[in-house]
Amino acid sequence: MTGLILASGSAIRARILTAAGIPFEIMRPGVDEDVLKREAAAAGQTIEETASLLADAKALDINAPGRVILGSDQILALGDRAFDKPQSSAEARERLKSLQGREHRLVNAVSIVQNRAVVFRHLETPRLFMRPMTDAEIDAYLDEAGDEILSSVGAYQVEALGSRLFDRIEGDYFAVLGLSLMPVLGYLRREGMLAY
């Protein structure tokens, strides 16, 4: 397989593709996500529509004729409220306090672009049930996990210490991590880009 571009600077998305044995090149899109989110909110778009819009925009931002470009976006939804990545440990602490003992969703959108057109979209919404935690437990987790959790919209990484924070997770594990892998693999197989 040749020609896949990952339109993302996300380390976890790159790790997912690498572990699946998919050769790819990383190109970071120049999309201003904050502007697009504000415009989507002003237009009354849902969290799911916004995630798809962002995945499209990231993939369409890469100008690479003849190449297959993969864009993805993930938004944490607590009820009707959407969250961005925390900017500080203090914000991560507040995020975990608001999520503990409650259910939230991780809306994961995938878009594939070829020749400046979106040719594939997929939306996955795993449900996560964070266990009730004391302030001391949250502080202990944040101390041990370190600043790396600031790269996660939920201030946790379920593939690492963050797994301790949950009672259960319903849905696609890869979508929880940030990239719905199985639908992407299915698309690449259908297009003859994977041998199996």
Q: Which of 168, 149, 45 is nearest to 107 (CA)?
A: 45
d(CA 56, CA 29): 11
d(CA 170, CA 172): 7
Is residue 73 annotated as part of the catalytic site, yes or no?
Answer: yes
Q: Which of 73, 80, 139, 143 is catalytic?
A: 73
Positive or negative, the Cα torsion across 106, 131, 102, 147? Answer: negative
Listed in sequence order, the residues at least 6 apart from 193 whose beta carbon sits closer than 8 Å to its beta carbon are 1, 3, 4, 68
> How far is residue 81 from each of residues 1, 41, 105, measured CA to CA in Å?
40, 11, 10
What positions carry a catalytic annotation?
A: 73
